[in-house]
Structures are given as structure tokens and as C-alpha cells.
Amino acid sequence: MMRSRTVTFIICFLMWMLLSFRLDWQHLAVGLIVALLAALAMGEMFTDSAFKWFEPKRYLWFFVYIFVFTWECFKANIDVAFRVLSPDLPINPGIVKVKTILKTETALTFLANFITLTPGTLSVDIDRGEGELYIHWINVRTQDVEEASRIIVAKFERILKEVFE
Amino acid sequence: MNEIISLLFIVIGAMFDLFGCVGLVRMPDIYNRLQASTKCVTLGTCSILFGVFIKYGFTAAGVKALLCIIFLLLTAPVTAHALARGAHKSGVKLWEKSVCDKYSETGS
């Protein structure tokens, strides 16, 4: 579990440096101590395989993820703004079930976050054992599990699989 | 020039925040309200923070704004998720014109 702690320490310390944004010994010392304490207390829970943090390929895919994410997020906002502002409120809501191939906790968390911030969908619950997500859809186009999975999750699954699994 | 771009981002952000609030008032049930408020308010606030970053660049204030964007993007959807799940578990019904509710069929 030493590696997981090391990763936690590095991230905490970097975050501290960015937040304080001053390079004198007092800030450095406080940052070191606090990051060390945080790493000792919480490090074990942070990541289940620390090796993933040292593969550059994952960071490349993470960049792709950020671009796709920003674009989808922007589309989502236009979509919602349009629905909110039109006088007859064109919504057709419901909760649908979709299947996902992702397994690890981090990947599922990011998938759920992604779904919430993309057009018209909001994740309500995850069944991790079955790999199923329950999603509130503002404009239900299909109630079929396979079809809904293809529309909602398929295009992000591939990217997230490369990044987190 | 930087000033204009940053102001543009801030104005767009404030506009989306406003849309989110309008959605909060107009939508019929909690789930649809969450949809409107989460998406619009997240991007709106991120846009305002990004405007601040463009204005101040890589200084203490600018970098803090960037970090806030990251934290906001990580936490806002989780809040929405928790609220939606909690509402459903405690028996808040969907809007009567909703099409389907696969979640209540599982019996959980």
C-alpha cells in the first residue's frame, strides 16, 4: 500500500502548491506536513492500483476525454436552455436502465458524472454487481435496455476504459 | 483583448446560471429540476471561473479559479446523483406524464 500512499502524497502536495501558489519555505513546510498526514491517514483508500498513475497513455486518453466532455457539456447546456425557455416545455421524462462494460469504481464514478453532465440524462443509481445504471432521461427515445445503452453510454465507455481500466 | 474575452465568458456563465434558475422554477418534478439546475449551473459557474482565469492568467487568483473548476466538475454531478437517489428511495414520485420508471421495477 506504500505506492498508493505515495501517489496520494504527490497529488495532495501538488494541490497545496497550486492553491497557495507561493514558493517560500513556510508554505513548503506546512504543505509537506499536511500532505504527509493526509497520505498516512487516507492513502490506502485512494487508489487500488498505483501503477495506473505512471502510464502516459492514460493521460493522453484523459485529454481526449476532457475535449469530448467539454463539447458534450456545452451541447447539454444549449439543449436544457432550449427546453427551459420554450413556452410549452417539451419534455418527455422517465427513468431507463442501461448496461455498461466498465468494472472499476473510478471508471463507474466518472461515467456517472459524465452522464449527469451530458444532454438530457441524470444518473440515479448504479448496480455495480450487474454493471447496470439507472438514468433519468428528460426525453425518452427508447425504453429498450440495449438501444438506450447504445445511445447514452457507448461513446464514452471506450474512452473511459482506456483511461481507468 | 483579454479583458473582452474574459467578460464574454463571465456574461455567458451568468446567462447559463439564470437559465438553470428558470429551469428550477419551471420544471414539474424534482428529477427534471435537478437536470436543469445541475447542468446549467455547473457550466455557468465553470464559465465564470474560466473568465476569471483568463483575466488573471497564471497568478494566485487565476490558478485557484482553475482548481475550483476541477472541484466543481467532480462534486456537482455527485450531489445531483445523491439527491436523485435519495428522493427516489424516500418515495418521491415522478411527474405523472413520465414515460417509464425502470428503477422502481427492481423493488429496491
Q: What is the mean pLDDT of residues A113-130?
A: 80
CA atoms within 13 A on the CB side of A141: 10
| Contact call for residues A45 and A7 (beta carbons, < 8 A) | no
For residue B28, the chain A residues in CB contact (below 8 A) are 89, 91
Inform me whether the pLDDT recorded for A55 exceeds 90: no
**Among A118, A115, A51, CA closest to A80:** A118
Instruction: Give the residue with greater pLDDT, A160 vs B49.
Output: B49
Say which range, A31-35, B19-23, B104-108, has the weakest mean pLDDT.
Answer: B104-108
Closest CB to B99 among A73, A92, A113? A92
Cell match 467532480: residue? B74
Q: What is the mean pLDDT of residues A46-52?
A: 68
Q: Does ipTM exceed 0.90?
A: no
Inform me whether the pLDDT recorded for A47 exceeds 80: no
Which chain B residue shows the shortest CA-CA distance from A135?
A: B103
Please answer yes or no on whether A134 and B19 come within 8 Å at the CB atom: no
Q: Is residue B103 part of a domain?
A: no
d(CA A121, CA A151): 11
Q: Is residue B104 part of a domain?
A: no
Distance from CA of A19 to the nearest CA of B (A): 6
Hey, is the C-beta of B83 within 8 angstroms of any chain A C-beta? no
pLDDT, tens digit (0-9, with 9 covering 90-100), for B11-21: 999 998 998 88
Which chain B residue shows the shortest CA-CA distance from A119?
A: B39
Q: Is residue B57 part of a domain?
A: yes
Distance from CA of A162 to the nearest CA of B (A): 19
Q: Is residue B108 part of a domain?
A: no
Inform me whether the pLDDT recorded for A130 exceeds 90: no
Q: Is residue B97 part of a domain?
A: no
Inform me whether the pLDDT recorded for B96 exceeds 90: no
Q: Is residue B102 part of a domain?
A: no
pLDDT, tens digit (0-9, with 9 covering 90-100), for B26-80: 888 888 888 888 888 888 899 999 999 999 888 888 888 989 998 888 888 888 8
Domain that holds residue B38: 2-91
d(CA B7, CA B43): 16
- Cβ atoms within 10 A of the Cβ of A75, count? 13
Which chain A residue shows the shortest CA-CA distance from B36?
A: A80
Q: Is residue B105 part of a domain?
A: no
d(CA B24, CA B34): 8
d(CA B64, CA A55): 27
Say which range, B49-58, B82-91, B98-107, has the weakest mean pLDDT.
Answer: B98-107
For residue B86, the chain A residues in CB contact (below 8 A) are none
| Residue B7, pLDDT score | 93
Q: Structural domain tally of chain B?
A: 1
Q: What is the mean pLDDT of residues A3-30?
A: 85
Q: Is residue B59 part of a domain?
A: yes
